[in-house]
A and B are shown apart, each in its own frame.
Chain A
Amino acid sequence: NAGVTQTPKFRILKIGQSMTLQCAQDMNHNYMYWYRQDPGMGLKLIYYSVGAGITDKGEVPNGYNVSRSTTEDFPLRLELAAPSQTSVYFCASRPSAQETQYFGPGTRLLVL
């Protein structure tokens, strides 16, 4: 199993550009999550999904959108990039609400 994979590893965006951060898992996990980690801070939940077709907002959803059309994929969309979205983004998945999360390696995003 590849586990949780994220692409790209690193990206520079200009203010106002859009992009999609990709996340895929091959463990057939129902639950998937997107977090951001700012320097010196903990991880903050952006969006999560409890299964295909179901998504919900976390702590910091503004400026982001998600979709979950399949169990495997959970892309995160930035529509109008802002410098405040400069961060490291982690995707995670877990099989059920009672089990731990497995994280991907992260995507580092710089908005200039």
Chain B
Amino acid sequence: DQQVKQNSPSLSVQEGRISILNCDYTNSMFDYFLWYKKYPAEGPTFLISISSIKDKNEDGRFTVFLNKSAKHLSLHIVPSQPGDSAVYFCAASVSNTGNQFYFGTGTSLTVIP
């Protein structure tokens, strides 16, 4: 049972434009959300996170938006760069349990120069 879903397996964007990656979740107990970036033959690396007490968190070119009522979060990358080409995973957890993260299936982003 997939509690975190990324319905777009792939996305292509022109360099300089905005990339929007989406993630939906089903468990209303989730209150901590993260995005990871993964290059081939490497482990995932942390990108940005958001707590359910916020609806937006920014870090440079990366912004995560959280819509709790819709159980939806999105990652915006502006402007997109060729080095952003990777697989992006969203993950969610119940923070007071602290231990189990549930991951989406990933979206492969290609930024075209």
Contacts and interface: CB of A to CB of B under 8 A. Distances in A.
B79 interface: no
Contact of A103 (B44, B49, B95, B104): B44
A103 B87 CA distance: 15
A97 B98 contact: yes
Interface string B48-69: 0100000000000000000000
Interface in A40-54: 40-45, 48, 50
A35 B102 CA distance: 11
Contacts of B45: 103
A106 B106 CA distance: 17
Interface residues of A, number: 25
Interface string A58-93: 110000000000000000000000000000001010
B100 interface: yes
Given A40-B105, A42-B4, A97-B99, A4 B43 contact: yes
Contacts of B2: 42
B41 to A, nearest CB: 7
A31 interface: yes
Secondary structure at the B interface, as helix, strand, loop or mixed, is loop
B34 interface: yes
B30 interface: no
A1 interface: no
A101 B46 contact: yes
A50 B97 CA distance: 12
B9 interface: yes
B44 A59 contact: no
A41 B99 CA distance: 20
A102 B9 CA distance: 24
A8 interface: no
Given A97-B99, A103-B44, 4 more contacts: A40-B105, A103-B36, A103-B45, A106-B42
19 contacts: A4-B43, A41-B105, A42-B2, A42-B4, A42-B6, A42-B106, A43-B101, A44-B103, A45-B100, A48-B100, A50-B99, A59-B100, A90-B44, A92-B43, A102-B46, A103-B36, A103-B45, A104-B43, A106-B43
